[in-house]
Amino acid sequence: MLRSLTQNLPLSRYRIDRDHAARERPALFDELAADPDARILALWRGEVLLAASGSATAASATDAADAPALAFLPWSAAPADALRVYLGRTLEAEGDVPAGAAITAVVLDDESGPALEPDVTRWGSPRTLGHRFGDRDAGLAIEALGMANWHATHLFSPRTGNPTVSVKAGWVRVDAETGAELFPRTDAAIIVGLTDADDRLVLGSNALWESNRFSLLAGFVEPGESLEAAVVREVYEEAGLRVIDPQYVGSQPWPFPASLMLGFRARLDPAHANALRPDGTEILDLRWFSRDELAASLDDILLPGRTSIARAIIEDWYGAPLDAP
């Protein structure tokens, strides 16, 4: 039985009470506007506002002295008409944010974002910074970004084409004409560390990446398909390889824009020929790597970033952190 990687994945960390019952209170945002402990987390163009260097929040970061941290602002800091999503309450005091503080994400447009903070270096992407955030900030940033992305793609009902409005503290959108409710959705995607009889790992280069970037094989789960069946199908479609024994190893949210990555390990099926066959559409190059070969290739290839589950699965197979960005 493989051990779970979830507790060690950068974007699976969470230190917040989502306080779901509060979403049902129609006057919740009015209550928070009057609460001196309530804070907002600002998002603009898929990035989160970071605490200024030297602030109490930044100084509380657990990584290193220069590790990034989220900026938590008073309720009144953002325009009243901006989209707001209630994220929950803090579990413990950290920096200048007390325990039990209500945190709300505020999604800013191209006018209000720069007006709130014109310094572009104060805005950062959770995709690249997520592994450097503390547990609380990592969870909040990913929850906020996932919800902001869902709202952006559901301004109109997919059934009627009618405009929708945000209700229930940002956790539901309602068709303005029919009253039908829309709820947030997450797209399931598998990602697999595939090994052969010699325990070599296969890595592929996607057509959308730099030619020297390599990662694990991955793909979306199709309707009516189990996770394990998706592993078998995706590997065969992208690489022409038959696999057996898919084993789940962990998951993490990946709201870029709306996925949940479900990690697996699997083995080549010895009963079938298994020549590497890139599909030529998504995957342009495939290579087998032993541990020594991967270590020797780090000056020539790029690996997935440290925020990704792909990097965690690769390093779990390797047996140690890899000396690569």
Other Cβ atoms closer than 10 A to 153 = 11
Q: What local confidence, expressed as pLDDT, does residue 62 receive? A: 45
The CA-to-CA distance between both ends of the chain, in Å, stands at 30
Q: What local confidence, expressed as pLDDT, does residue 3 receive? A: 73
Q: pLDDT truncated to tens, each residue of the chain (325 aa)? A: 567 899 989 999 999 999 999 999 999 999 999 999 999 999 999 999 999 986 656 555 444 557 899 999 999 999 999 999 999 999 999 999 999 999 999 999 999 999 999 999 999 999 999 999 999 999 999 999 999 999 999 999 999 999 999 999 999 999 999 999 999 999 999 999 999 999 999 999 999 999 999 999 999 999 999 999 999 999 999 999 999 999 999 999 999 999 999 999 999 999 888 889 999 999 999 999 999 999 999 999 999 999 999 999 999 999 999 988 8
User: Cα separation of 91 and 208, whole Å?
Assistant: 40
Q: What local confidence, expressed as pLDDT, does residue 254 receive? A: 98
User: Cα separation of 276 and 89, whole Å?
Assistant: 49
* Residue 193 exposed, middle or buried by CB count within 10 Å (0-12, 13-18, 19+): buried
User: Cα separation of 127 and 222, whole Å?
Assistant: 25
Rounded alpha-carbon distances, angstroms, from residue 300 to 66, 207, 209, 226, 277: 29, 18, 15, 36, 22
Is residue 68 within 8 Å of 50, Cβ to Cβ? yes
Give the CA radius of gyration of the chain.
22
Is residue 144 within 8 Å of 70, Cβ to Cβ? no
Respond yes or no on whether the N-terminal peptide bond of residue 257 is cis (omega within 30° of 0). yes
Q: What local confidence, expressed as pLDDT, does residue 2 receive? A: 65
Instruction: Answer left, alpha or beta for residue 271, where phi above 0 means left and psi between -120 and 50 means alpha.
Output: alpha
User: Cα separation of 176 and 122, whole Å?
Assistant: 36
Domain span(s) for CATH 3.90.79.10 in the chain: 187-318
Residues 6+ apart with CB under 8 A from 198: 290
User: Cα separation of 168 and 90, whole Å?
Assistant: 20
Q: What is the CATH number of domain 187-318?
A: 3.90.79.10
Show the CA angle centred on residue 257, arms to residues 78 and 180, nearest 5°.
Answer: 75
* Phi/psi of residue 169, nearest 5 degrees: 60, 30
User: Cα separation of 235 and 219, whole Å?
Assistant: 9
Q: Distance of alpha carbon 317 from its chain centroid, rounded?
A: 22
Is residue 49 within 8 Å of 41, Cβ to Cβ? yes
pTM of the predicted structure, to 2 decimals: 0.93
* Residue 155 exposed, middle or buried by CB count within 10 Å (0-12, 13-18, 19+): exposed
Which residue reads 């690489």 in tokens? 239
